[in-house]
Amino acid sequence: MSGHLAVVGIGPGDARWLTPEAQTALDAADALYGYGPYLDRVPARPGQSRHPSDNREEMRRAADALTHAAQGARVAVVSGGDPGVFAMAAAICEAIEAGPPAWRALDVTIVPGISAMLAVAACAGAPLGHDFCALSLSDNLKSWDIIERRLDAAADAGFVIAFYNPVSRARPWQLASAFERLRRHLPGATPVIFGRAVGRAEEAVTVTTLDVADATNADMATLVIVGSRATRVIARPGRPLVYTPRAATEASA
Ligand code: SAH
């Protein structure tokens, strides 16, 4: 088999949250591909080429990286957080499935990373301590109708919900609309966590409640966690501890 492609999760923040396996994969690569700001988080190494691309160019990036690997190179595609969570690993799989047979013969490795929801949850306590789901609020690749159906189902089923991609310049209204939708299902006192840029210098984690949650607190680097009926807040000096108990009862589900 010639050529190797690693899809590498570099975690949501600084190097503390980069795993030793991810570091090894980055060190071993002849070429790095990725969204520009993610590549910027990987120190340059002499002899290693770098191929930054724009956020929306995932399929193009996947094809370029696979083509390069098929020429016999060791290629690493860099993803923030975990590469399998709303990121490049699925794009690479889509490209391989639709692409030339040579791409199926490549040695492909997915190197996991700490996903933003896990990092934000750890900052806040244990909000994902019981059943939860993750939802991207981006309606670039699915319709808003699908998102609303999933919001209704998740809230009714008692899942804690982690929202990725809550807002962007092109999508200013989605998070406010999602909060509005959830208010139909969940009590106003349901805890809401805004985790912004966790693991980076500008990290900010705030805890509020669904009735007053203000979508303008979120930006592109924010992950939002909305609790379930069971999620609890322990007041204490400084930031409270938010957690979801390990056992569900009929009353809390
Ligand atoms: N693969 C990534 C997610 C990519 S989608 C992962 O596993 O984390 C991009 C979204 O992830 C952002 O819009 C934001 O919602 C979230 N995110 C990424 N890094 C973050 C960070 N440091 N702090 C908070 N949220 C983050």
Distance, in Å, from the CA atom of 164 to the CA atom of 181, rounded to the nearest integer, reads 17
Residue 1's pLDDT band (boundaries 50, 70, 90)? Answer: low
Structure tokens at 88: 């490049």
Distances (CA, A) of 28 to 11, 68, 77, 116: 18, 15, 12, 25
What is the number of the ligand 1 atom nearest to the C-alpha of 116?
8
113 CA closest ligand 1 atom index: 7
Report whether residue 164 contacts ligand 1, using a CB cutoff of 6 Å: yes
Helices (H), 33-130: 36-39, 58-70, 88-98, 101-104, 116-124
pLDDT of 87-131, one tens digit each? Answer: 999 999 999 999 999 999 999 999 999 999 999 999 999 999 999
Other Cβ atoms closer than 10 A to 204: 14
| DSSP codes of every residue in 120-144 | HHHHHEETTSSSEEEEE---SSS-H
> Which residue is closest in CA terms to ligand 1's atom 9?
165
**CA angle 90-17-12, nearest 5°?**
50
194-229: pLDDT as tens digits: 999 999 999 999 999 999 999 999 999 999 999 999
Integer angstrom CA distances of residue 23 from 31, 65, 103, 197: 14, 19, 24, 21
